[in-house]
A and B are shown apart, each in its own frame.
Chain A
Amino acid sequence: MRLGTLLFALVTMTAHAQQAPTKVKISFVEALAPNDTTSSVRYQGMYEETISIASTLLKKKLSGCGYELETKTAFYEATDSLKAKEHGEAAQAAGAWLIVGPRRSNHYLLLVQGAGEIPTVSLMASADAIKELGPRHLSVAPLNSQMSALAAQETKRRLGKAVRYVSVLSADCISCLDFAKSFDHAAKEIGLRKLGEISLTGDSLDADSIRKQVQELKPDFVLLPNYSRISSMVMAAFNDSSSRPFFVGGDGWGDALYGFVQNGMSIENVKGITVRGFPPFRRALSQFPLGKKIIEQNKLSDSFAPDLSILKIMEATADRLCKDRPVSKSEFAASFAKSARQISAPWGVSVFDLEKGNIKFSKSAVIR
């Protein structure tokens, strides 16, 4: 009888060990700027390599849990935001368990419309509208309301009694408008006074005209929560001016690798601060296990720095799979919704200083 039980147990264990792992399909969807192909190609390479590295590093762990990641990436031109929704629909049709969506808020919001019941997560979207999407949809980046509150506080702390500001906003950028709206709300609460708002659209602008409009209003600082290209063009118009206000950015000023504000524009005389959902790269890596493993295995190089958000999302997905052991998309969706807060804003909000043409880390703060 004992021998029989032992044989049964051995057969059962062998069968379990030989059972095919459950394939978990993750669709990665991202927009690339068609008018900045060099930067886009670099970003695409980094993006795909990060997925590859993360998949390799997580393979053993997932295999032990009976899972195997099956990733698929899709890139599209950022000028056609409707593609995000279509890629969401395609991923849903292809049986994806999770969709990792684009960085831009409006693209991500459209992707969610095409994703149906599939959980989604954006690498960087920060529009406050995201928190209204429900527990299955979230962004790794902090929301605009979180970042703008810290930006307002830091601005007041640095400028003291100088409290008047003008907003220069890209009218076709949801996230920028969202950030500005949140900033205005936070600023009002702490006594900062808004003098006016200058609106612009598209990628080309008359920066000198904007400078004159700003200087006529004589603000102490300019809120400039736009993407790096537009922000740098506006700031460059003030670089050689005798009257230079302080500039306050959102998380669109970019980072040292992709589309940083000082790239190609002369802004060495301009001062300001910006806020981001990410601390400096190595500091962020050291704050989570997959990041630490990458540092330990010396996977980094001068030309390669993996995307923090992708690493964080894939690590969180692996953790959730191994913990809850879902066997279907719907079970995974439910499991994902439970743990969503763990992925959102894992590094808090960081403040960076713009001085002498460089952006330097100042501090990080956890914002609830």
Chain B
Amino acid sequence: MKNRPLRDFLLLSWAIPLALTVLGGSLLALGLSYLDYSNHIRSERERLQQIAPAISRRVAAEILLKSQGTLGPVIDHLKTEYGLKTLEIADGEVTATPAPLFISAPIREAQKTLLIARDARSFSSFINLRHLLLALLPTAGLAAFGFFLQRRHLRRYFIRPVEALAETSVGSRAPDESWPLEIQRIAQKLAGSFAEREQAVFGQVARGIIHDIRTHIHSIHTATQLSEMEAADAEQRLHRMERLLAACQRNVPKIKNIIDLSLDTSREIPLKTKRSDVAQAVKQAIANVEEITKAKGISISQDFSGDLSAEYDAVQLERAFTNVVKNAVEAAEDKHVPGAVVVRGARSASSIRISVEDSGHGLRDKTSVFRPLKSTKAHGIGLGLFISRKIVEAHQGKIIPDNSTELGGAKFTVEIPVSDVRHEL
């Protein structure tokens, strides 16, 4: 047994008791048959013992009559009447052979012995289907019922907890007291391990953010120090002030973006909606990653049909689509072959659907793609899709992860409802 699900191992473990049940049932059937056989032999032997005196007296009478009697016909008659196989007269005392239905009875009046035998049915003739069914049906029925109960029990208290360990290991599920203690301990260890890993990742992220912010602050600080230095002339001072201003203009938005990104992961996304064309947000998102696509030689095709206008926050939705498209481009890039991304937009009666498909490796685990800090990419930190989902969900929409049958990679479909968009300012 290799690479088989836990269920198969558990079910196979039932094969042993099941085989034992069948074996036990067969042995029981044999036992019942033997009981029948021995009862038959005993009752037949008792019957022989009961009739022996009468037969003995009848034969004795004929012997006493000598030539006047009818010994031969009487013996034939007695054999027929009592269903005897053997009815013989022996001189003196004779001990009967150990055959099951063979007895001897004294003929006292003639100092002879009567040997009486009946045909005994063989043991094999008592082994019948009735006994087998009698033994096997109840045991098989109980075994099937037990199997059913066991399956439910195992599923509830063993298979599901083991399956749940996967969720426990990524912190999405806590151990349950109904689980077996051993599985609870494993789950607790996995949960603890995940917390440690999460803490470490958050520490790395925090250090990255601090490093990024410090880099930008350092640029501004350097520009500030330079502007404070004594200038040779007014032109030089102006130039330095212009450089300081440029440094601030360049770095402050970046710092703000870094802070916004960090905050977005832990708070509700505020929306400022107005009726606009969703296709525009998508196209802007594609434009945002244009430099990367060009650099990597990845083609992006677009296809929008129908009226895609809806109430939405253009800035936030552009961020969301940018993450999704960027994710597709980076996935296509990972395959080291000329990549392709296809973006389609269409409208149904109740929603606008934007799908983004790539030619990358596809999704192995659809449930974990939105998990924060989880990324399959070498340089990703695992927040892009997480934030995208938060933005889309803030629009009462949803992102459906799937695999693309057309390009062989991943496919993310964003559904934005066309009405009842929640406004949060």
Residues of A within 8 A of B (CB): 79-82, 85, 106, 109-110, 113, 127, 129, 171-174, 177, 199, 201-202
Contact = CB atoms under 8 A, between A and B. Distances in A.
Given A173-B70, A174-B68, A174-B70, 19 more contacts: A79-B54, A80-B54, A81-B57, A81-B58, A82-B58, A82-B60, A82-B109, A106-B65, A106-B69, A110-B65, A113-B64, A171-B70, A171-B72, A171-B77, A172-B70, A177-B70, A201-B73, A201-B80, A202-B77
The 9 closest A-B pairs by CB, nearest first: A171-B73, A201-B77, A129-B68, A81-B61, A82-B57, A82-B61, A172-B73, A172-B74, A172-B77
B65 A174 contact: yes
Contacts, number: 55
Contact of B58 (A80, A109, A201): A80
B interface SS class: helix
A177 B72 CA distance: 13
Interface of B: 54, 57-58, 60-61, 64-65, 68-70, 72-74, 76-77, 80-81, 109
Contacts of A129: 68
A113 B66 CA distance: 12
Nearest to B73: A171
A175 to B, nearest CB: 10
A265 B109 CA distance: 40
A329 B338 CA distance: 144
B342 to A, nearest CB: 99
Contact of B61 (A85, A127, A177, A202): A85
Contacts of A199: 73
Nearest to B56: A82
Contacts of A171: 70, 72-73, 76-77
Nearest to B74: A172
Nearest to B81: A202
A84 B74 CA distance: 17
Contacts of A127: 68
B107 to A, nearest CB: 10
7 contacts: A79-B54, A80-B58, A106-B61, A106-B68, A109-B65, A129-B68, A172-B70
A82 B72 CA distance: 17
Nearest to A133: B68
A79 B73 CA distance: 15
Contacts of A79: 54, 58
Contacts of A173: 70
Interface centre among B57, B68, B69, B109 (most CB of A within 10 A): B68
Contacts of B64: 82, 85, 110, 113
Contacts of A172: 70, 73-74, 77
Nearest to A106: B65
Contacts of A85: 61, 64, 109
